[in-house]
Each structure stands twice: as C-alpha cells, then as structure tokens.
Amino acid sequence: MRLHNTFGGTKDVFEPLEPGLVRMYTCGPTVWNFAHVGNLRAFLFYDLIRRHLRVAGFRVTHVMNLTDIDDRILDQAMHAGTTIEEYIEPYARAFFEDMATLRAQPAEHYPRATEHIPEMVDMISTLIKNENAYIADGDVYFRIASFPAYGALSHLDRAGLKAGARVATDKYEKESVSDFALWKKSQPEDEEIGASWEAPFGRGRPGWHIECSAMSKRYLGETLDIHAGGVDLLFPHHENEIAQSEAANQKPFVRVWLHSEHLFDATGEKMSKSAGGFTTLRDLIGAGHDPLAIRFFLIANAHYRSRLRLSDDALHAAAEQVRRLREFNERVIRTAPAVSDDAGLAQRTAEVRIAYREALDDDLNLPQGVGLVFDHIREANAALDAGRVGPSNKASLLELIDDLDAHLDVIRVEEPGLAEEVERLIAEREEARRARDFDRADRIRDDLRSRGIALEDSRDGVRWRRISPGPVIEAGRS
C-alpha cells in the first residue's frame, strides 16, 4: 500500500519498521467541550487508516491521546468551580460515546496527559540538559534556534520566523517569540483545581505539545511508523512534536505523517471551536440524521486530503447511499441462487474486488472504491432481476460487500433492538387484522413505513425490508 507522507509530500510504499506491526499515534480530543464534526472527521480518518492496515495484514498498536489539561480547561474549571478532573469527565465520556456511535474501532491506548506528567518532566529535563530548552521566570521554553530542522514538515520559512520575533515583543521572557512553552509555572489558583505538579525545574503544568512527544514514546517507542492528525495540527503542533522528540531522543520521530483536510460548514466557514459556531454529533442526531449516514459522509464522500462541506443535502445523500448498500446486501442474502453461475458477472465481480482493494491501497481512496462498488451493484441488480445469479456469483457478491464493509462498517450492522421491535409491531398488526381493526393495522404499517421499514405479505408470513423513509403516499386497506 502507498501513503501520502506530508513530510516530503510524496506517495510512498508503506512498510513498518518492525515487519507486520504498525505503531501509530494520532492526536486526540481536547476534552474541554464536545467534539465538533470537523474533529470527528479526523478521528474517523484514523479509524480508516487503522482498518485498512488490518485489511492489509498488519497488526496495529494505535494510541490516541486525551488532552485533559490546557488553558481552556483551566479557565472553564475555574469558572465552574470544579477541579479539572471533575470538569473534563463528562466530555471525556461523550468522546467515547461519539466514537462508539460512529463505529470507530477502539484504539489500543487512550493516554491522558495528566496521568503522564512524570514522562513529560523526564523529557523536559533531558531537553534542558541538552540545551534545547531553557528556564525563563519559572516557565520552560523550547529553544527553536537549537533545532535546525525546525519547519521541515510544514515548509516554514525560518528566516520569516526570526523576522517575526523582532516585531512581536510580548509579555513572555522568551529568547525568541517562536520558542514555545514546555512547562508553565504554577499560578496560585492552579493548585485549587488540581492543575499543578512538582518538577525539578519548578512547580507547574505541562504545555500542550510535550504531551504527545512524551506519551507516544511511552507507548510506541522513539520512532513511530505513522503519526496522523487534522491538517490544522501541522503547524505548530506537529512541528513542535518533531523538535521535542528528536532533540530529546536523538532518533527520527515519525516515518510517515498523514493529515486529513478540514471540514467546512454549509456557509463555507471552516469548522472550529474558536470560531464559536460549531456542530456536534449530538446536534446532527438531534436534527434527525442517522449516525451511519454521518459516518459514511465523513469517510466516503471525499478523499481524506480533500476538503469536505457539511450540509443537510450531503447527509441525506449519504443516507440514501447507505440505504442502497444495505438493501443490496439484503437482496443478495435473500436470493435463492440460480442453478448455474453467470460467467461474465463472476469475472467482473472478481475485477471489482481487485480494483476496490487497489483504490484503498492507493493512499486510502475509499470514495473511489465505493464508486466502483456502486457501478457494479447496478450490473448485479440487473442479473438478480433476470435470475442469473448462481451460487458462486452470490458468494462473491457477498465477499465484495464484506470487503467494502471492512472499511465502511455501515452495511451489516443492525440497529440494536430494531429487529425485535419490528417483529413485535408486525405481531400487533396481525392481531389488529384478526380483530378486523383495519385502521389500527394501517397505522402500524404507516408508522413503520415512515421509519424506513416496508412490510410485505408472503407465503411464509409478513416480511420486512428497508426503504427510503418518507411520507406515506398511498393508504390502501390492509
């Protein structure tokens, strides 16, 4: 498989350092609020990488951090009159709920910054000893001038950076304005909210960047195979991570950097918390959108390195695509195979399976893979209509759906409890019909129809299938 490495900007064949095992670090949420849909796009991108690495036969150790200390968390906890731990807990829980709702596979480790202070203190001590960091008025800063490779990832112009340093004379006692904080001196109020730790260079709390360097080292070692994040983290966060890790460890930090593009809202604004207007998963579900459609939209509507625009129309279109995939799957499962196979269909299904895999191997091009499958579904449906689908045709169509669902994970999932509820309502409707209460029987059928479930009378009793949810048009007698 080939991946587009932000470092260097080329698509290269991916091989992990240790054959068969991929060490992957991904920047997780700052749990000061609910994650917005732009964050979720990045988190589901991590899930896509992880899933495809496993499809490609790798074992994966995936680490995703929770930032549970930063300036915003401190501010909010202070205002709420709680400790930082009490303040973040509901948002940490909401993050895991969102991930489960969107069917992201769990990472192997979710380290929290506040639980890894000793590792950060160690790394900062090393940086001070190596003269890559200095203490200024109780704070500790990374000395960018000591790390010549600074800016290589984001193609930053170092000359411009220095010029900027002369212009901005701010309140910090820094040698250069671009030097960034590794450790911030304790303020009196930090103690009360549990945001202050002992360190050889003075009591305080860590800066944001050092946590990823320290925690990735703790769980994955000094050199990572893959480090991923949203493109908004490229500078300065990832640039700073490289500087800290390589200066402290004297080893290459990351072999492949992957960055997912921004999500824009319907008005064309980049979704971000600092801009104020942001949409959460809860907002979308509250507005009636299906989590499976949201998942499909975020991973399959655009390649991860392309910008994506969130809109009701796009989510409705995604829901329709999910419905078509699920309906096709159910149709293939239900089909009693013809006596013999269609050789042409067999060959094209085999070709589509190969092309699908190639699309994913080519820098995770899921949208292209999904497009290939939809084209093939049209042909397969025609074969199903004509009764030309034989036993091995059926088996290979189901394998194609397996291939697709290994990444999408929206086709074979059942909403928990749905089947039981539908069966119960079907029984109620039968009861009503026996009692000649046809109004009630019709009401049950129409309710189900508005939820996207159609009932069909068959010799074996009443069966149900998924359809486009929508208003009931005809109102015939049951």
Residue ranges that bind Zn ion, judged by CB under 5 A: 27, 212
Give the closest residue to 358 by CA, choosing from 373, 378, 347.
373
Cα–Cα distances in Å, from 173 out to 33, 134, 139, 148, 299?
31, 11, 9, 22, 44
Two tokens, residue 257:
């950097």
| Residue-wise DSSP of 243-281 | HHHHHHHSS--EEEEEEEPPEE-TTSPBP-STTS---BH
Q: 221 or 371: whose CB is closer to Zn ion? A: 221
CB 214, CB 119: distance < 8 Å: yes
CA–CA distance, 253 with 105 (Å, rounded to integer): 25
**Ordered strands of the 204-206 beta sheet:** 133-136, 139-142, 180-185, 204-206
Residues constituting the chain: 478
Compute the least distance from the CB of residue 239 to Zn ion, in Å.
11
Two tokens, residue 135:
């203490």
| Cα 51–chain centre separation | 11
Strand 308-309, strand 453-458: pairing:
unpaired
Query: What single letter denotes the amino acid at residue 244?
Result: Q
Q: Write the CB contacts of 171 (distance below 8 Å, at least 6 apart in sequence).
A: none
Compute the least distance from the CB of residue 44 to Zn ion, in Å.
17
Compute the least distance from the CB of residue 76 to Zn ion, in Å.
20
Give φ, ψ of 357 to 5 degrees.
-60, -40
Compute the least distance from the CB of residue 26 to Zn ion, in Å.
8
CA–CA distance, 429 with 448 (Å, rounded to integer): 11
Q: 27 or 284: whose CB is closer to Zn ion? A: 27
**What is the torsion angle, in degrees rounded to the nearest 10, for the CA atoms of residue 243, residue 245, residue 250 and residue 252?**
-90
Compute the least distance from the CB of residue 242 to Zn ion, in Å.
11
Q: What is the b/e burial string over 291-320, where b = at least 16 CB atoms within 10 angstroms of the residue's CB?
A: bbbbbbbbbbbbbbbeebbbeeebbbebbe
Q: 144 or 212: whose CB is closer to Zn ion? A: 212
Q: 87 or 208: whose CB is closer to Zn ion? A: 208
Two tokens, residue 55:
């499809």
Compute the least distance from the CB of residue 209 to Zn ion, in Å.
7
Compute the least distance from the CB of residue 27 to Zn ion, in Å.
3
Q: 61 or 83: whose CB is closer to Zn ion? A: 61
Q: 240 or 393: whose CB is closer to Zn ion? A: 240
Q: 27 or 124: whose CB is closer to Zn ion? A: 27
Q: 151 or 369: whose CB is closer to Zn ion? A: 151
Compute the least distance from the CB of residue 464 to Zn ion, in Å.
46
Q: 181 or 212: whose CB is closer to Zn ion? A: 212
Compute the least distance from the CB of residue 119 to Zn ion, in Å.
14
CA–CA distance, 358 with 350 (Å, rounded to integer): 13
CA–CA distance, 127 with 119 (Å, rounded to integer): 13
Q: 132 or 213: whose CB is closer to Zn ion? A: 213
Compute the least distance from the CB of residue 195 to Zn ion, in Å.
19
Sign of the dihedral through C-alpha 174, 177, 178, 184: positive
Q: 115 or 447: whose CB is closer to Zn ion? A: 115
Compute the least distance from the CB of residue 180 to Zn ion, in Å.
13
Two tokens, residue 136:
């200024």
